[in-house]
Amino acid sequence: MKHTAVLKWAGLALTLLIVGLVPLPRHSAQVRIGSKKFTESVILGEMLRLITTNAGLDSVHYREFGGTRIVFNALESGEIDAYPEYTGTIQQEILARENVSDDDAMKHELQSRGIGISKSMGFSNTYALALTKKRANDLGITTISDLKRLPELRLALTHEFLERKDGWPALARHYDLPQRNVVGVDHDLAYPQLLAGEIDVIDVYTTDAMIYRSDLVVLEDDSKFFPRYDAVWLYGLKAAERHPELLAAVRKMEGAVSETTMRELNNIVESHQRSESQAAADFLRIKLGIDVEEQKVSWVRMILNHLGEHLDLVRRSLLPAIVIGVALGVFCQRYRRSGQVVLAVTGLLQTIPSLALLVLLLPVIAMLGLPSIGEGSITAVVALFAYCLLPIVRNTFTGLEGIPRGIVESATVLGLSRSSKLAEVELPIALPTMLAGIRTAAVQNVGFATLGAIIGAGGLGQPILRGIRLNDVPLILAGAVPAALLALLLQFVIDGLEYAVVPRGLKNARSVRE
């Protein structure tokens, strides 16, 4: 047939698109609970999940998938139905522009956004500054005001605290603090650095178990800068109307958790005695008389579950990127001026920090009514797709551009049409270079896909993030090692594909050029 090669390439592209774009059947839960990226929030999220499940609802918990803004926006857009929050954060950060003056004004403003707020769960988890007892004794400081005479101190504060309305900038102005050696750090990594003496002061939550386990000194807020951070539940009013059991579960937790109890639960989890789910189940059974049993999941089952999620993210982003990337590469080679713009744009996408790209895409995907967070997150897929494009586009362009002019002219003399010439001559010759770009994109994709866990998309990033939070090296390796092996496997598969489909003459020609 005259156009056999064209049909083969078109069939291959269509197959890749179908395999890459057809979604797997997704579990549609009745109630979706969120939590922020710290132990306490995850434990509270597990409590609500267990209570609602015990009440007969099909509930799912999107663990530790972001900071305040990401989680609140997810609630406001209906992506999740409830999550634990703190009154000080609501007033000073979420509703800072509205300048709410009291609890009634806060409640009214939240209701106008379709969000309800519970009464306090029974404890307050306030921001504070802390340092080791030895360092505090050496410096002779007990209050935040004492920091004014020590401008040389090294402070490592969480990124969110550095930006919050009730965070470092306002605190420094309130106390007239002179410190300039202030850096951003992940909350879970700050404690090891502090204990190692690499930094002097960190920001903490007052219910952090590490404060007491590491014998730290919490500086007194002597000028009363920080507001109360009473733990409450924020929930979607429509979700509560749809499922009264959700609101009943929220009510059961009002006033049920003391500060001491919360600190003990944090300690149990962070000292690896119990998982968040097990600690939550123990609390509900002992304190509230709710008999729930959280089944243990074996390490093998856990890894296989996350591996399946990871492969799904790779499949849905890499396969469409191969088709679109090759098409764009051909376009760039055919239309040079426009092609330079395409190469510049794909290059620009590659330079955007992955976390920033995820955050930038979240509101856009949510606005389109697509799943922006959690299982099946389009946000994660689109971000991974964008990162795959550059090596595929660039290598396709380079491969086509490197074909000797004489070969192209010979194909023209033989009477081949433009599409036939591309399918039968140019793409086969450029294939080794194209596969090299696909190989690079695939390996990068596997690594970047671990970041999907930040917005609840699952994958092998989930145990890595949890392991970092709990300082659990085996848990980190449970995510990192399979991810590395998966990247190697994809590389071997592409190498095998190249060996099978690329003619020996082209391989020899490439090795001579290299």
How is the chain split among helix, strand and coil, in percent rounded to 5?
65, 10, 25
Q: 90: helix, coil or strand?
A: helix
In this model, does residue 210 exceed pLDDT 90?
Answer: no
Question: Residue 513, exposed/middle/buried by CB under 10 A (0-12, 13-18, 19+)?
Answer: exposed
Q: Tell me, what's the pLDDT at 410? A: 75
Convert the pLDDT of each residue in 23-81 to its tens digit.
776 667 889 999 998 899 999 999 999 999 999 999 989 888 777 888 998 899 888 99
Mean pLDDT of 431-442: 93
Domains identified in the chain and CATH numbers: 31-124+229-287 (3.40.190.10), 127-218 (3.40.190.120), 299-513 (1.10.3720.10)
CA 248 to chain centre: 30
Question: Residue 28, exposed/middle/buried by CB under 10 A (0-12, 13-18, 19+)?
Answer: exposed
Q: Tell me, what's the pLDDT at 27? A: 67
Torsion of CA 327, 331, 334, 337, to 10 degrees: -160
- 495-498 LR contacts (CB < 8 Å, sep 24+): 495/439, 497/435, 498/431, 498/432, 498/435
Mean pLDDT of 355-376: 79
Burial 324-339 (b: 16+ CB within 10 A, else e): bbbebbbebbeeeeeb
In this model, does residue 265 exceed pLDDT 80?
Answer: yes
Question: What share of the chain has pLDDT > 90, as a percent?
Answer: 53
Average pLDDT for the chain: 88
Mean pLDDT of 341-350: 90
Q: Tell me, what's the pLDDT at 506? A: 59
* pLDDT band with cut points at 50, 70 and 90 for residue 512: very low
In this model, does residue 399 exceed pLDDT 60?
Answer: yes
Q: Tell me, what's the pLDDT at 365? A: 84
Q: 274: helix, coil or strand?
A: coil
Q: 162: helix, coil or strand?
A: helix
- Quick count: other Cβ atoms within 10 Å of Cβ 151? 11
In this model, does residue 514 exceed pLDDT 60?
Answer: no
In this model, does residue 376 exceed pLDDT 70?
Answer: yes
Pair type for strands 182-185 and 115-117:
unpaired
Mean pLDDT of 335-351: 89
Please report, for residues 168, 276, 399, 403, 421, the alpha-carbon distance to residue 409 in angstroms, rounded to integers and kept in the order given. 67, 67, 17, 11, 10
Helices (H) and strands (E) in the chain, counts: 24, 10
Q: Determine the angle formed by the axes of helices 427-448 and 299-334, rounding to 10 degrees.
A: 140
Residue 372's beta-bridge partner residues?
none
Q: What global pTM score does this model have?
A: 0.81
In this model, does residue 1 exceed pLDDT 60?
Answer: no
Mean pLDDT of 495-500: 86
CA 129 to chain centre: 27
* pLDDT band with cut points at 50, 70 and 90 for residue 271: confident
In this model, does residue 439 exceed pLDDT 80?
Answer: yes
In this model, does residue 297 exceed pLDDT 60?
Answer: yes
E strand or H helix at 233: strand 231-236
Residue 182's beta-bridge partner residues?
155
Q: Tell me, what's the pLDDT at 507? A: 56
Q: Determine the angle formed by the axes of helices 473-501 and 299-334, rounding to 10 degrees.
A: 40
Convert the pLDDT of each residue in 131-171 to its tens digit.
999 999 999 999 999 999 999 999 999 988 998 888 999 99
